[in-house]
C-alpha cells in the first residue's frame, strides 16, 4: 500500500465531516510550481515542461506535464478528499463544467516574484495564476510557492540581481510581504476561505543543488536549506497573522521541510541523492534516451548565419567571430563561437528533440563517426549570396555550407557501410534547419557603400532574386537526402539596436528594413507551398516550416525580433559594451540583468529572447 504523508491526512481530517466522512469542500483550486503543475506549461515557450516520457511513466494516462513519474501531492490530496477525477489544468479546462470542481493553475519554474524562473522561458507567476482564477468561496485552495524564488532567482546571480540587492533575511521578508498581499487578493477578490499554504522543502538536498553548489562536507547544501527554513518560519507567522485577522477564514501551514527531514531509509528509500531518470543540462529527464530508442530524429543538420554559428568562424580571417568573453558567459563551456551569452535557438531545438549534446560545428569535427548525429555549418555574416558579408572578411556562405554537407554525406556513408539506398533512407529521417537571409539585407542590400544590390534592384525585385536562389539551394539539399527541412523566416531586423542607431525617422524601428524582410517572408511561404508537392510526389515530407512538434513550438518565436518587448524591461539596448562593428568588446563586463535584456550585442538576442 502506498505511503501518504501524515500532513495530507491532517488536511483531510480537518476538512472532512468526522461523523459521515463526507468531503466538506465542493471544489479544489491549486496554485503552485512544478511540484503541482499538471500540464499548464505544455504549450508555453519554455524548457520547464515535461510532457514527454519518462515523465508520467507510472501515471495512468502517461506523460501529462507532471514533473514526476506518477501522481503529484495535489493529485493524492484530491483523491483523499473524495474527488472522483483529478483536478484538471487551467490551460486546457478553463471553460465549461470542469471549473465547478476546481482547477490547477500551477506552473513549472514559477514563483512568488514575477521574474522568477524566466531564464527558462515562459511560465505563469503567482500573480498571473490569481488573475486566471474565478470567484468561489467554499473550496479548498492549495498554494505552494517559493522554491523557485530561491532556486531560480536568489541563487542564480548570473540571471537575477536579488542576491546583490538583499541579504537573505531581507529577501525572505520581501517574499513574505508579497505573498501576504497575494493571499489577501485570494481572500478579498476571489473569496478563498480555506487555504493550505505549503512550506518549502529541503531544497538544498536535491541532486541538482548538490551537484551545482557542492556541500562543503555536509550532506546537503546548507545555505539553501537555511534559506528555506527562514522562509518557512516567516510563513508560519504569516499564517498565524492571517488567521488572527481574518476570522471567517482558515489558513493552515503544510510543513514540507519537516516531511523531508526524517530518516529516508525508514520511509523505504534506498537512494536519496541521485535522480531516477537520466537528465539533461537543466536537470530534467532527458527525452533523448527515448528518442534514441524509437529513432524519431537520428540526426540534425544546421545551415545558417550568426544566429546559429557555434564556432565555424573561429579560425577564419574575420572580425565576425565570438570565441571570447563575454560571449558564452552563461554557456556551460564558456565562449565557443556562439554570438550570444548562452545557447542559440538551434541548441534549444536539439535539446527539445532529445539530443544529449549540442550539435557540433563542422569546422572542428574531424572524425566521420562524430558526424552521424549531425553537424552545424552556420557561419557569422554569411548569406545566400556569395558576396554577402565579405566586407567584414571571410565567411562560409550557403553554397559553401552545402558543399561541406556534400562531403559529410560521403563521410557518413563510409562510416555506416550501408548501400546507397540505406544511407539515403537514414538521411531522409534527419531534421535540417536552414536560416538564411538576414545578412543578405543587413550586410548586403542595406550596405550600399560596399554592395550595389540596392541600386540595381527594388526591394520587391531583390526579394524575388533571393527566393529564386534559395529555391535552387534547397533543391540541392534535397538531392543530398534532406526530406524534413525547417526554413526559418527573417525577423524584424529593423528593430535591432544597430538598425535603430542608424535612425528611425520617428518610428520605433527602421520601417524600410522590416518592410523588405516582410516581402522576403511572404515569398518564402510561397516557396514552401511550391516545393511541398514535389516532396509529396517522392513519398516524403520534404518541406514544412516546422516538421516536428518540438520545433513547431519554438518555431512560433524563431523570428527573434518579433518577441513582444513587454517580456523585457530593455528591448532596444545591448547588454554588453560593443565595438565599432556592434559586437561585444573582448572581456568587457556585460549587464547584470541579462534576463531583462532582449539583445546581447547590437545584432544578436540574449538566450532569454529565444
Count of CA atoms in the C-beta half-sphere (13 A) of 359:
34
pLDDT at 531: 81
Does residue 294 register a pLDDT over 60? Answer: no
> CA separation (Å) from 228 to 196, 325, 518, 557?
18, 34, 50, 36
Highest mean pLDDT among 255-264, 275-284, 336-345: 336-345
| Mean pLDDT of the region 358-377 | 92
Percent of the chain with pLDDT over 90: 58
For range 178-206, the mean pLDDT: 92
Q: Is the pLDDT of residue 80 over 90?
A: no
Residue 282 preceded by cis peptide, ω within 30: no
Which of 153, 249, 244 is closest to 203 using CA atoms? Answer: 153
Query: What is the tens place of the pLDDT at every residue in 411-442?
Result: 888 877 655 666 788 898 899 999 999 999 99
Which pLDDT band holds residue 94 (cuts at 50, 70, 90)?
low
**Are the C-beta atoms of residues 438 and 493 closer than 8 Å to each other?**
yes
Q: How far apart are CA 284 and CA 278, in angstroms?
A: 8
- Average pLDDT on 313-335 reads 96
The pLDDT mean for the chain works out to 85
Q: What pLDDT does 554 receive?
A: 38
Q: Under DSSP, is residue 292 helix (H, G, I), strand (E, B) or coil?
A: helix
Provide the pLDDT for residue 39: 95
Please classify residue 205 by burial: count the beta carbons closer than 10 Å to its beta carbon, then call 0-12 exposed, 13-18 middle and 19+ buried. Answer: buried
| Contacting residues for 51 by C-beta, under 8 A, at least 6 apart | 39, 42, 63, 64, 65
Model pLDDT for residues 378-423, shown as the tens digit of each residue: 999 999 999 999 999 999 999 999 999 999 999 888 877 655 666 7
5: pLDDT strictly greater than 90: no
Ramachandran class of 369: left when φ > 0, alpha when ψ lies in -120 to 50, beta otherwise? alpha
The β-bridge relationship of strands 431-435 and 300-304 is parallel
For 468-524, the pLDDT digits (tens) are 999 999 999 999 999 889 899 998 999 999 999 999 999 999 999 999 999 999 999
The predicted structure's pLDDT at residue 250: 92
Residue with cell 483523491: 79
What's the pTM value of the predicted model, to 2 decimals? 0.59
What pLDDT is stored for residue 417 in this prediction?
67
Question: Is there a contact between 197 and 225 (Cβ–Cβ < 8 Å)?
Answer: no
Confidence at residue 452, expressed as pLDDT on a 0 to 100 scale: 97
Instruction: Please confirm, yes or no, whether 507 is among the known catalytic residues.
Output: no
| Grid coordinates given for 141 | 485552495
For the segment 227-246, the average pLDDT, to the nearest whole number, is 95
User: Is the pLDDT higher at 70 or at 269?
Assistant: 70
Q: Which of 43-57, 143-157, 312-326, 570-584 has the lowest mean pLDDT?
A: 43-57
Catalytic residue among 306, 379, 381, 595: 306
pLDDT reported for residue 316: 97
Q: How confident is the model at residue 85 (pLDDT cuts 50, 70, 90)?
A: confident
264 pLDDT tier (thresholds 50, 70, 90): low
Rounded to an integer, the average pLDDT of 542-551 is 37
Going along the chain from its start, the domains and CATH numbers come out as 6-17+25-259 (3.40.50), 288-498+511-559 (3.40.50)
Q: Are 444 and 498 in contact (CB under 8 A)?
A: no
pLDDT class for 98, splitting at 50, 70, 90? Answer: low
Residue found by looking up cell 482558515 in the block: 250
Q: Among residues 33, 75, 305, 601, which one is catalytic?
A: 601
Tell me what pLDDT residue 78 has.
Answer: 87
Looking at the DSSP bridge assignments, the partners of residue 457 are: none
Which runs of E-coded beta strand occur in 136-178? 140-144
21: pLDDT confidence band, cut at 50, 70 and 90?
very low
Q: Is 601 assigned a catalytic role?
A: yes
pLDDT in tens, 554-569: 333 333 334 445 567 8
Cis peptide before 54 (omega within 30 of 0): yes
Amino acid at each position: 500500500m502506498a505511503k501518504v504523508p501524515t500532513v495530507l491526512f491532517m488536511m483531510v481530517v480537518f476538512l472532512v465531516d468526522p461523523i459521515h466522512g463526507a468531503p466538506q469542500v465542493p471544489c479544489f483550486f491549486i496554485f503552485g510550481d512544478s511540484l503541482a503543475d499538471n500540464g499548464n506549461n505544455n504549450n508555453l515557450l519554455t524548457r520547464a515542461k515535461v510532457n514527454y516520457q519518462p515523465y508520467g511513466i507510472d501515471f495512468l494516462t502517461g506523460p501529462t506535464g507532471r514533473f514526476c513519474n506518477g501522481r503529484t501531492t495535489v493529485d493524492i490530496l484530491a483523491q483523499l478528499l473524495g474527488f472522483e477525477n483529478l483536478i484538471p489544468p487551467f490551460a486546457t479546462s478553463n471553460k465549461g463544467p470542469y471549473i465547478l470542481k476546481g482547477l490547477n493553475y500551477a506552473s513549472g519554474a514559477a514563483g512568488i516574484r514575477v521574474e522568477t524562473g524566466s531564464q527558462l522561458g515562459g511560465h505563469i507567476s503567482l500573480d498571473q495564476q490569481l488573475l486566471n482564477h474565478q470567484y468561489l468561496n467554499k473550496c479548498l485552495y492549495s498554494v505552494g510557492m517559493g522554491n523557485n524564488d530561491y532556486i531560480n532567482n536568489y541563487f542564480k546571480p548570473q540571471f537575477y540581481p536579488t542576491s546583490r540587492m538583499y541579504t537573505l533575511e531581507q529577501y525572505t521578508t520581501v517574499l513574505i510581504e508579497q505573498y501576504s498581499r497575494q493571499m489577501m487578493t485570494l481572500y478579498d477578490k476571489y473569496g478563498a476561505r480555506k487555504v493550505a499554504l505549503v512550506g518549502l522543502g529541503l531544497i538544498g538536498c536535491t541532486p541538482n543543488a548538490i551537484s551545482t553548489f557542492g556541500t562543503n562536507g555536509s550532506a546537503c547544501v546548507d545555505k539553501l536549506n537555511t534559506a528555506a527554513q527562514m522562509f518557512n518560519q516567516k510563513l508560519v507567522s504569516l499564517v498565524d497573522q492571517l488567521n488572527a485577522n481574518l476570522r471567517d477564514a482558515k489558513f493552515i501551514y503544510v510543513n514540507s521541510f519537516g516531511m523531508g527531514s526524517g530518516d529516508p531509509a525508514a520511509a523505504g528509500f534506498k537512494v536519496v541523492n541521485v535522480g531516477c531518470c537520466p537528465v539533461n543540462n537543466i536537470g530534467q529527464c532527458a527525452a533523448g534516451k527515448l528518442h534514441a530508442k524509437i529513432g524519431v530524429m537520428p540526426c540534425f543538420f544546421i545551415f545558417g548565419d550568426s544566429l546559429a554559428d557555434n564556432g565555424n568562424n573561429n579560425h577564419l580571417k574575420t572580425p565576425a567571430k565570438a570565441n571570447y568573453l563575454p560571449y558564452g558567459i552563461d554557456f556551460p563551456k564558456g565562449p565557443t563561437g556562439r554570438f550570444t551569452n548562452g545557447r542559440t535557438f538551434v541548441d534549444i531545438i536539439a535539446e527539445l528533440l532529445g539530443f544529449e549534446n549540442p550539435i557540433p560545428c563542422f569546422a572542428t569535427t574531424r572524425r566521420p563517426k562524430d558526424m552521424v548525429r549531425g553537424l552545424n555549418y552556420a557561419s557569422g555574416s554569411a548569406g545566400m549570396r556569395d558576396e554577402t558579408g565579405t566586407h567584414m572578411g571571410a565567411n562560409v556562405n550557403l553554397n559553401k555550407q552545402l558543399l561541406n554537407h556534400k562531403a559529410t554525406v560521403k563521410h557518413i556513408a563510409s562510416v555506416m557501410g550501408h548501400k546507397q539506398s540505406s544511407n539515403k533512407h537514414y538521411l531522409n529521417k534527419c531534421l535540417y534547419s536552414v536560416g538564411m537571409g538576414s545578412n543578405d539585407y543587413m550586410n548586403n542590400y542595406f550596405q550600399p557603400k560596399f554592395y550595389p544590390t540596392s541600386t540595381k534592384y527594388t526591394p520587391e525585385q531583390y526579394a524575388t532574386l533571393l527566393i529564386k536562389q534559395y529555391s535552387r539551394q534547397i533543391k540541392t539539399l534535397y538531392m543530398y537526402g534532406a526530406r524534413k527541412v525547417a526554413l526559418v523566416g527573417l525577423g524584424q531586423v529593423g528593430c535591432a539596436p544597430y538598425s535603430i542607431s542608424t535612425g528611425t525617422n520617428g518610428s520605433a524601428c527602421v520601417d524600410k528594413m522590416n518592410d523588405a524582410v516582410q516581402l522576403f517572408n511572404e515569398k518564402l511561404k510561397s516557396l514552401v507551398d511550391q516545393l511541398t508537392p514535389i516532396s509529396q510526389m517522392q513519398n516524403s515530407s520534404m518541406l514544412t516550416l516546422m516538421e516536428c512538434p518540438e520545433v513547431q513550438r519554438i518555431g512560433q518565436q524563431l523570428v527573434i525580433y518579433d518577441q513582444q518587448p513587454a517580456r523585457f524591461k530593455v528591448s532596444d539596448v545591448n547588454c554588453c559594451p560593443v565595438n565599432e562593428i556592434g559586437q561585444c568588446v573582448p572581456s568587457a563586463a556585460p549587464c547584470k540583468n541579462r534576463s531583462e535584456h532582449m539583445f546581447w550585442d547590437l545584432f544578436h538576442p540574449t538566450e532569454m529572447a529565444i
